[in-house]
Chain A
Amino acid sequence: MARINSAAELEERRLGILSKRDPNKLCIAVCNGNGCSGRNEGIISVFTEELGKQSLDGKVDVRATGCHGFCEKGPFVVIYPEEICYTGVTLEDVPEIVAQTVVGNQVVDRLVYTDPATGEKAVRQSDIPYYKNQTRLLMGNNPMINPKDIDEYLALGGYAGLSKALFEMTPEQVLEEIKKANLRGRGGGGFPAGSKWETTRNAPEKVKYVIVNGHEGEPGAFMDRALFTGNPHLVLEGLIIGAYAIGSHLGFIYTRHDSPELLANIRTALKQAEEYGLLGKDIMGSGFDFEVEVHFDIGIFVSGESSALMRSIEGKAPEPTPKYIRTSVSGIWGKPSNLNNIETWANVPQIISKGSEWYSTIGTERSKGTKLISFFGNVCNTGVVEVPFGTSLKEIVYGFGGGIPNGKKLKAVHFGGAMGGSLPASMIDTPLDFDGLAKVGAQIGAGALMVLDEDTCMVDLARFFMKFLSEESCGKCVPCREGVRQMLNILTNITEGKGKEGDIELLEEISEVVGEAALCSLGRTAPAPLLGMLNYFRDEFEAHIKEKRCPAHFCKNLQ
């Protein structure tokens, strides 16, 4: 395919793609996301086979898409243009779907979603409450895109943001727009992306780098993978726009080694974007050059920490280094390096296309836009949702999550994995907000929400997180390596009925030293979950130590 050499040529290409499409042609979209791909293996090939038997090959499209988000009910099969949606589809259902729906234009009733609360059926995917109640600005296109085909992204308006940035805006104006939108980093800290971009842009070194942090190591976080695997061009477009604003000509995508589908889709996307002239030298004839390299880690949690990630890109062991000089000033090879996570970059194209004013209408006063949340644990539905900031945790757990299974009561929700924080059920009305949640001790982190029912022992959960960190700390600095080791010892003793008077105070004392003296943010936030639990569930720790009793009846030595 020929290069695109101007904004007008991009629109021509888009119209060309659309004009070749028959809007009435049937398209069977099958979700091939991480959650479903175990269960939907073969569904796509059986569809192709079955269509062949009916002599329909070529007359009906079959599309393998990224994650649709409602993983609990997957695999999803959506038949366009009518958007007829089937849930939990198995290989055996395929011939019936082809015969009934594709040939006979009938809905297969038994595969249609039924709301467990109301008993109401929803034939179209967008009528299912789980989807209807979301604001799917980033994830919404996943069912409509084959991630391996750039044309499908272009058909939905892809790269219009980049075109606008390159031809209608100066880099300063792009930066200003991101600052005005108050886009905050979705990786954990919630740091304003615009300020970070500006620091990198203004740093004296001429060579600058931009980086996609696609490590997503937070346990239970799977929304970034869902987004990046399902719609890689969205992230890439955001990255190129950012590079233009910052004045960078080389970007890095740092991601996981253990998601082969993600790596394959990224590589395909880069190749196709380059062929189309959307990446590489003289992008779209604008004179702006930008290239991207892909790096992946070897499965170490700490390599998601920004300075460790940058050491890893340099080819060194992923060990954090102190950030007394910020990485946006001195990062990879001492050059200014701007790092944002997948979801942050994915927000950029729409802010440029639709403007910061539009973006600012979504969310709360200081947390703008939507947030992807992956939820799991003791909750009826597991999946990914995209909701505006300000949505209450209750809405997420009960509305989208469908509440707690087996008639159990909610005990707590935990945000942010091993360095996050828990909130008791009594605080479930708290709205989703960077600052609001941080204030009550539950940093959003990357957005993994673990739901805990009444059978959860908080002491054991604290021990579990500490065990995770004891294995995933890099081991470089004493407070993190040794502090975590001793806290794990103490917590293990408590759960085994060997807790002593003074243990809680000692845990607090170690936490303080680790929090203040550790080298990197992993170490400094390592005590966070424990401190949160000591704050809200102190009586449980005391029961274990003083009464040798586990109130949740979980700890085996304390029954």
Chain B
Amino acid sequence: MSKILIKIDGREFEASEGMTILQAAKEVGVEIPTLCYYEKLEPYGGCRLCTVEAEIRGRSKLVAACLYPVEKDLIVRTRTEKVDQIRKMLLELMLAHAPASRDLQAYAEEYGADKNRFQKESSFCIHCGLCVRYCAEIKKKEVITFVDRGTNREISFIPEIASQECENCKECFPLCPTEALQAAYVLTQALSFPSLQSVTE
């Protein structure tokens, strides 16, 4: 495989073809924040927190590091003023939904994001899709899925399948950066496992 010479935050690196900026940065030891990324899953590009500045032949653009493939003469800047400004606002937007999320709070501290900046709408879910994609890509079950679109988008377990699959799996739980997944599961549990419900009561 051919090697591609790139530069990330001033450090030169020989990347291999097909690598993304995020993968290359990891090799170089440059940390790029992510929320919807998980190495076992296809990159998704939903949270946009990994937005970086990519310069090719003198032209700069903002791209999602988890998806952007490395190319010849690529120069990446991961902490410019612009990038930080974008990350700060993205965090503030997500904190309006999940103000208590530890992952979000840790990033908020680093980027100076104010969790009270936007009108709160505590749905807890930030739609990173980790649970949905894990269930579809790794478990091949599609028990949990997105329903509706736009601002009405939600995650939802399908009770008929959940009653068969979830009780002994729950592998998606530790992936959730907020508490939304557990909340959705509790609701489904009530629908899917009425017998368990009566025991816990």
Seen from chain A, the residues whose Cβ lies within 8 Å of a Cβ on chain B are: 300, 302, 317, 321-322, 324-325, 469-479, 481-486, 488-489, 509-510, 513, 516-519
Main secondary structure of the interface of A (DSSP, over half): helix
Docked Cα-Cα span, A479 to B62, in Å, equals: 13
Residues of A within 8 A of B129 (CB): 476
Partner-contacting stretch, out of B9-17, B46-54, B108-116, B192-200? B46-54
- A322 near B150: Cβ-Cβ < 8 Å: no
Once the chains bind, are B67 and A324 in contact (CB under 8 Å)? yes
A322 adjacent to B48 (CB under 8 Å): no
What is the bound-complex CA distance between A516 and B82, given in angstroms?
Answer: 10
Q: How far is the CB of B94 from chain A (nearest CB, A)?
A: 6
Within 8 A of A (CB), among B110-152: 118-119, 121, 126-127, 129, 146, 148-152
A518 closest partner in B (C-beta): B48
Question: Given the complex, which residues of A lie within 8 Å of B48, measured CB to CB?
Answer: 477-479, 517-519
B68 touches A517 (CB 8 A): no
Nearest first, the 3 closest Cβ-Cβ pairs linking A and B are: A475-B153, A482-B93, A473-B150
* Bound CA span A478–B127, Å: 8
Which chain B residues numbered 41 to 68 have a C-beta less than 8 Å away from chain A?
44-49, 51, 62-64, 67-68
- CB nearest to B97 among chain A residues: A482
Across the interface, name the chain B residue whose C-beta is closest to A519. B45
Q: Are B150's CB and A478's CB within 8 A? A: no
> Does B69 sit within 8 A of A, measured CB to CB?
yes
CA distance A520 to B6 in the complex (A): 26
Q: Which of A324, A474, A510 contacts B63 (CB 8 A)?
A: A324
A477-B46, A517-B62, A519-B45 given as contacts; is B150 within 8 A of A483 (CB)?
no
Assess whether B89 is interfacial by the CB under 8 Å rule: yes
Given that A322-B45, A324-B67, A324-B68 are known contacts, is A475 also in contact with B151, CB under 8 Å in the complex? Answer: yes
Of chain B, the residue at the smallest CB distance from A470 is: B151
Q: How far is the CA of A361 from the CA of B90 in the complex (A)?
A: 49
In the assembled complex, the Cα of A365 lies from the Cα of B119 at a distance in Å of: 49
Residues of A within 8 A of B150 (CB): 469-475, 481, 484
Q: Verify B45–A482 contact, CB threshold 8 A.
A: no
Taking the nearest CB of chain A, how far is it from the CB of B162, in angstroms? 20
* B15 CB to nearest chain A CB (Å): 15
| Residue contact B62 to A489, C-beta cutoff 8 Å | no
Cβ–Cβ contact B127 & A476, under 8 A: yes
Measured CB to CB, the closest approach of chain A to B93, in angstroms, equals 4
- With A324-B67, A475-B146 as given contacts, are A485 and B151 in contact (CB-CB < 8 Å)? yes
Docked pose: A486 CA to B93 CA in angstroms: 8
23 contacts between A and B (CB under 8 A): A302-B149, A324-B68, A469-B150, A471-B149, A471-B150, A473-B150, A474-B153, A477-B45, A478-B127, A479-B48, A479-B86, A482-B97, A483-B89, A486-B96, A489-B118, A489-B119, A510-B89, A513-B89, A516-B62, A516-B82, A517-B48, A519-B45, A519-B46
Q: Which residue of A lies closest to B119 (CB)?
A: A489
- Closest Cβ neighbor of B148 among chain A residues: A475
Quick check: A478 and B94 within 8 Å, CB to CB? yes
> Known: A513-B86, A519-B48. Is A300-B149 also a contact (CB below 8 A)?
yes
Give Cα distance in the complex from A300 to B150, angstroms. Answer: 11
What A residues does B182 contact at CB under 8 A? none
Decide yes or no whether B164 CB sits under 8 A from chain A: no
Task: Please name all residues of chain B whose beta carbon is closer than 8 Å to the beta carbon of A485 when the two chains form the complex.
Answer: 121, 151
Q: Which residues of B contact A510 (CB under 8 A)?
A: 89
Chain A residue at smallest Cβ distance from B90: A478
CB distance from B19 to the nearest CB of A (A): 13
CB pair B93–A483 under 8 Å, yes or no, is: yes
B86 touches A481 (CB 8 A): no
Docked Cα-Cα span, A322 to B68, in Å, equals 9
Given known pairs A478-B90, A479-B48, A519-B46, the reply for A513 and B85 (CB within 8 Å) is yes
Known interface pairs A476-B129, A479-B90, A481-B127; 16 further A-B residue pairs with C-beta atoms within 8 A, sorted by A's residue number: A322-B64, A469-B150, A470-B150, A470-B151, A472-B150, A475-B127, A475-B152, A477-B48, A478-B46, A478-B93, A478-B94, A479-B93, A484-B150, A486-B96, A510-B89, A513-B86
Which residues does chain A contribute within 8 Å of B89, judged by CB atoms?
483, 509-510, 513
Known: A325-B69, A476-B127, A478-B126. A484 touches B63 (CB 8 A): no
List residues of chain B with CB within 8 A of the CB of A483. Answer: 89, 93
Best-buried of A302, A317, A322, A472 by chain B (most CB within 10 Å) = A322
Query: Is B119 in contact with A476, judged by CB distance below 8 angstroms?
Result: no
A545–B130 Cα distance when bound, in Å, is 41
Whether B119 pairs with A478 at a CB distance below 8 angstroms is: no
Q: How far is the CB of A164 from chain B (nearest CB, A)?
A: 40
Residue of A nearest to B93 (CB): A482
In the complex, A484 Cα to B96 Cα: how many Å? 13
Give complex CA distance A363, B96 in Å: 50
B contact residues around A513 at 8 Å (CB) = 85-86, 89-90
Residue of B nearest to A485 (CB): B151
Q: Which residues of A contact B45 (CB under 8 A)?
A: 321-322, 476-477, 519
A321 to B153, CA, bound (A): 17
Q: How far is the CA of A476 from the CA of B167 in the complex (A)?
A: 28
Closest residue of A by beta carbon distance from B67: A322
In this complex, the member of A322, A478, A484, A518 whose beta carbon has the largest number of chain B beta carbons within 10 angstroms is A478
Task: Please tell me if the beta carbons of A471 and B151 are within 8 angstroms of each other in the complex.
Answer: yes
In the complex the two chains form, is B69's CB within 8 Å of A486's CB?
no
Q: Would you give the shortest CB distance from A100 to chain B, in whole angstroms?
A: 55
What separation, in Å, do the CA atoms of A398 and B89 have in the docked complex? 44
Interface centre among B89, B90, B119, B153 (most CB of A within 10 A): B89
Complex formed: what's the CA distance from A317 to B133 in Å? 13
Known: A478-B48, A481-B127, A486-B93. A471 touches B152 (CB 8 A): yes
